[in-house]
Structure 1
Amino acid sequence: MKHIIIPTLNEAENIGVLIKQIYQYLDPSDTMILVVDDNSIDTTHDVVREMAQEFPHVKLIVRRNERGLGTAVRKGASLIDEGPVVVMDADLSHHPRHLPAMFQKLSDGADVVVGSRYVSGGGIRGWPGSRVAVSQVATLIAKILFRTPVNDPMSGFVGCRSPKILVDGIDYADFKFLLELLVKNRTLKVGEVPITFQDRLKGSSKLKAKTIGLYLSLVLKLMLESGSRNRQ
């Protein structure tokens, strides 16, 4: 069975639409969707439960005392015994039309597959030029400092051959987990699939001004860890 992990926080406007879109591209009888919610205060829970009535393989996990993208992903992965898994955003920025290609890449032998904005055929819609520039600079910094084997190490649209890769590879809670996976495990066979990233149309971004600080904090932690490993 295929698995999709969708972390949520107040995504009532988007999550139902996303679940229906996913099942337009993947077989509902062979695809489990795990919505890992950080105790939303809107009607996200109600929407997901309604979707579960229509699609039995939709599961809602509500976390009352934890926060953070990384730990939400790890929680969802810990509930999967085996089988490929893709993590995607709940805000419709990651279109489900890319899912078949990502699962195919995993089936072909990749340990990790990245939905990449920065390869031929990929792109970004809805971002102002300044935000694109910041994203590209962050990507360049990651590639230079850590020599990541992909063109979009900051992507949040990521698939893994096994849930164990996510459970064992994520320690930091607050930000993008792909860079951490790539830096900590250099033996992973990584593939890329071009995607078109669409900025959210409904709701508000969770990161905003915090993004740069979270990114720099992650980079510093990974640099310190890399330096410690190199000295051992």
Structure 2
Amino acid sequence: MMVDISIIIPCYNESDNVIPLVKALHTVLHDRQWEVIFVDDNSPDGTIHVVRKLAAHDQHVRGLLRIGRRGLSSAVIEGILSSSAPLIAVMDGDLQHDETCLPIMIEALMKNTCDIIVASRHIEGGNSTGLANKWRHFLSLQGIRIAKKLGAPVNDPMSGFFAARRDWFEPIAPALRGRGFKILMETLLAAPKPIRVMETPMVFRERLHGESKLGPYVMIEFILMVIENTFKKAWLCFTKNKHSS
């Protein structure tokens, strides 16, 4: 099946969310050629079995099982590189991301008005009420402050919901370490400048099933990723100036 867009869903223990998510995608993408790729890190709750059972009678669904390695960012990278669609989108598997943003994102990319489009909680029309507690709000806001100080060209660099052209992302992929949870921020830091970024408002919904993976280690991973990419860019700038002098 030729598809216009591949939706990459990194997942761990999301077995209860697979079927509702696929149903929601069918509703919102009924006039598009699409596929969804669930990248499962060998979830003990049998997420991949639910995916495979669904894929047996739904050609839109694919499953990619990873054994011996974990992590949202690396799962996203592998999922994107396993796709042949010209457009890719990344969403969480917990139903908190509003799938109705997808048609707007697809249209913007097909018109080539941006390199990447982010579903943002922090522009007019969006909100983050689905963040479960004050701790998650704190982590998210601190991450945004750090990212903006580094010049991130987006209001919600901590978003896990974005879309891009695959031929724009693939050249960036070798520079990505794929650690932690914040693949969008790492991509923005690693991408050649200037980046044409668009944002569309998203209402971040409450989680219905499963548990949040956001904890203190997520912020630690995020800070390490920022430091690593900052020093990498500084080193590249230094070597470039040295060779040109």
Say yes or no: TM over 0.5.
Answer: yes
The aligned residue for residue 176 of structure 1 is: 182
The aligned residue for residue 191 of structure 1 is: 198
Is 1:73 paired with 2:68?
A: no
Between 31-40 and 46-55, report the one with greater CA deviation: 46-55
The aligned residue for residue 54 of structure 2 is: 51
Deviations 1:105-148 (A, max 9, x none): 2112111111111111110123334532431222021111x211
Q: Distance in 1 between matches of 2:31 and 2:101?
A: 16
TM-score, normalised on structure 2?
Answer: 0.87
Is 1:138 paired with 2:113?
A: no
TM-score, normalised on structure 1?
Answer: 0.92
Q: Distance in 2 between matches of 1:90 and 1:31?
A: 17
Amino acid at match of 1:176: K
After superposition, the Cα gap between the structure-2 partners of 1:134 and 1:42, relative to the gap in structure 1 and judged at 3 Å, is: closer
Q: Distance in 2 between matches of 1:58 and 1:100?
A: 19
SS in 2 for 1:34: strand
* Within-5 A mapping of 1:9-158: 9-27=12-30, 30-109=33-112, 110-127=114-131, 128-144=133-149, 146-158=150-162
Between 193-202 and 163-172, report the one with greater CA deviation: 163-172
Between 162-171 and 59-68, report the one with greater CA deviation: 162-171
The aligned residue for residue 215 of structure 2 is: 208
Deviations 1:50-107 (A, max 9, x none): 2213421211110112211121111111112241110000011112111111111211
Unaligned runs of 5+ in 1: none
RMSD after superposition: 1.8
Amino acid at match of 1:121: G
How many pairs are equivalent? 231
Q: Distance in 2 between matches of 1:174 and 1:75?
A: 14
CA contact (8 A) 2:144 2:158 kept: yes
Q: Distance in 1 between matches of 2:195 and 2:125?
A: 24
CA contact (8 A) 2:120 2:156 kept: yes
SS in 2 for 1:124: coil
Is 1:231 paired with 2:238?
A: yes
Q: How far off is 1:7 after superposition?
A: 0.6
Amino acid at match of 2:73: G
Unaligned runs of 5+ in 2: 240-245
After superposition, the Cα gap between the structure-2 partners of 1:163 and 1:3, relative to the gap in structure 1 and judged at 3 Å, is: farther
After superposition, the Cα gap between the structure-2 partners of 1:122 and 1:33, relative to the gap in structure 1 and judged at 3 Å, is: same
Amino acid at match of 2:84: D
Amino acid at match of 1:210: Y
Q: Distance in 2 between matches of 1:166 and 1:25?
A: 27
Between 4-13 and 220-229, report the one with greater CA deviation: 220-229
Q: Give aligned-pair identity as a percent.
A: 34
